[in-house]
Amino acid sequence: MNGLLLVAQREVRTRIRTKSFLISLAISAILVAALAFLPKALGGDGTFDVGVVGPAPAPVTQLSYSRYPDEAAARKAVIGGDVDAALIGGDRVIANGELDQRLGLILESVHRDEQIRAAGVTVTPLRVESVGADARYQGVRTGIATLLVMVLFFLFIYSSMYVAMGVVEEKGSRIVEILLTSVRPWQLLGGKIVGLGVLGLVNLAVVVAAGLAASAATGFAADLPPGMGGIVVSALVWFVLGYAFFAVLAATFGSLVSRQEELNTVLTPMTTLMMLTYVTAYFAAVQPTGTVARVLSLVPPFSSMVMPVRTAATGVPLGEILIAVALMIVAVVGVLLFASRVYQRAVLRTGARVRLGEVLR
């Protein structure tokens, strides 16, 4: 175990100091934070600035008032774009050109309320009751699920690539000969996967934190669905499982070649599988209740991305989640057994690419 931890520690220490790691970390955090700011930037902040001369109406959430001493000053503000419109004496509106339709409705309603209140009548607002499923958060949940698909895919592919590149680096430079006389193959491979996995987890945590912090800063957090904690935990758990699966595969295929240039070719089966998983997960984000999403969220390795996406997009019964996790663990153990056969035999056979058949015999 000690050997594994030493190897893991080295991976973390060397990778965390590289510029590329820090840059990709910063970029992914900024991207996610920017996505959280996006609705606000595109839709404005949803409130209107209204200049007021004379008596001010009762405050409403969509309007922010600013006082002006006289009509001339208010006109100037409207023309200068400081305010969207101005309310003069409580019964007249000045706009620059045509009045915004929504603003007009709001002002009309405010004006009406004022008059009703002045007449001493109280109006109770309408109560709204939904008879269908709670669809209030559907848009947001789909958004989060789509984002999660991209983040998970990005993390899976780049963490697994680092594992494969590390394996080839050690094989190509023959340092593996010295390493394997001081640690066992499973310690070397396990340490590499654990170390780079920790970095992937750090990256995921930073991305999630950046997203949540940005939503809190923009007030978008109020729109987040309940059970966000569950979505985050599910993303982390599925990252660990999916990463374990893909990283072990990447290391196994990586051990067949001695040069980085050959890596892409030899990793094709794994990247194809990853792309398929990505595509199905993307569909699941859009149609989380469809049959395809339900079935593939149980089947490894698709479940590693489809299940967290489904969890984010809609409610999933706990039983299904547990079945999916159990099946995924079985799959991870399966690739570990495959890896232990291949890696140990292939990694010391430097030179030409080793065929899978040769080491599996």
Partner 1 sequence: MLEIDGLRKRYGDKTALDGVGFTVRPGEMFGFVGANGAGKTTTMRIVMGVLGADSGEVRLDGRPLGYDDRRAFGYMPEERGLYQKMKVAEQIEYFGRLHGLAPAAARTATDALLERLGLVERRDDAVEALSLGNQQRVQLAVALVHEPTVLILDEPFSGLDPLAVDALAEVLKDRAAEGVPVIFSSHQLDLVERLCDSVGIISAGRMVAYGPVAELREREGRGVLRVVVRDAAPGWADGLPGRIAREGDRDVLLCEEGDDQAVLRTAMGAGTVEHFGRRQPTLTEIFREAVA
- Contact residues toward partner 1 (CB under 8 A) are 3, 6-7, 10, 14, 169-170, 173-184, 348, 350
Q: Which is nearer to partner 1, 15 or 75 (by Cβ)?
A: 15
Q: Which is nearer to partner 1, 90 or 172 (by Cβ)?
A: 172
CB of 170 to partner 1, least distance (A): 8
The Cα–Cα gap between 169 and 164 comes to 9
Strands 63-67 and 85-88: unpaired
Q: Report the C-alpha dihedral over residues 210, 155, 141, 208, rounded to 10 degrees.
A: -20
CB of 169 to partner 1, least distance (A): 8
Q: Which is nearer to partner 1, 43 or 351 (by Cβ)?
A: 351
Q: Which is nearer to partner 1, 232 or 347 (by Cβ)?
A: 347
CB of 350 to partner 1, least distance (A): 7
CB of 355 to partner 1, least distance (A): 15
Q: Which is nearer to partner 1, 262 or 320 (by Cβ)?
A: 262
CB of 353 to partner 1, least distance (A): 17
The Cα–Cα gap between 202 and 292 comes to 31
Concatenated DSSP letters of 96-109: SSSPPHHHHHHHHH
How many other CB atoms sit within 10 Å of the CB of residue 55?
10
Concatenated DSSP letters of 294-312: HHHTTSTTTHHHHHHHHHH
Q: Which is nearer to partner 1, 187 or 234 (by Cβ)?
A: 187
CA distances for 181 relative to 8, 185, 336, 344, angstroms: 18, 9, 22, 13
CB of 240 to partner 1, least distance (A): 26
CB of 214 within 8 A of CB of 130? no
Residue 255's nearest CA partner among 155, 172, 158, 358 is 172
CB of 189 to partner 1, least distance (A): 14
Concatenated DSSP letters of 194-245: HHHHHHHHHHHHHHHHHHHHHHHHHTGGGGSPTTHHHHHHHHHHHHHHHHHH
Q: Which is nearer to partner 1, 196 or 298 (by Cβ)?
A: 196
Alpha carbon 71 to its chain's center: 50
CB of 258 to partner 1, least distance (A): 11
- What size, in residues, is the chain? 361
The Cα–Cα gap between 14 and 6 comes to 12
Q: Which is nearer to partner 1, 14 or 268 (by Cβ)?
A: 14
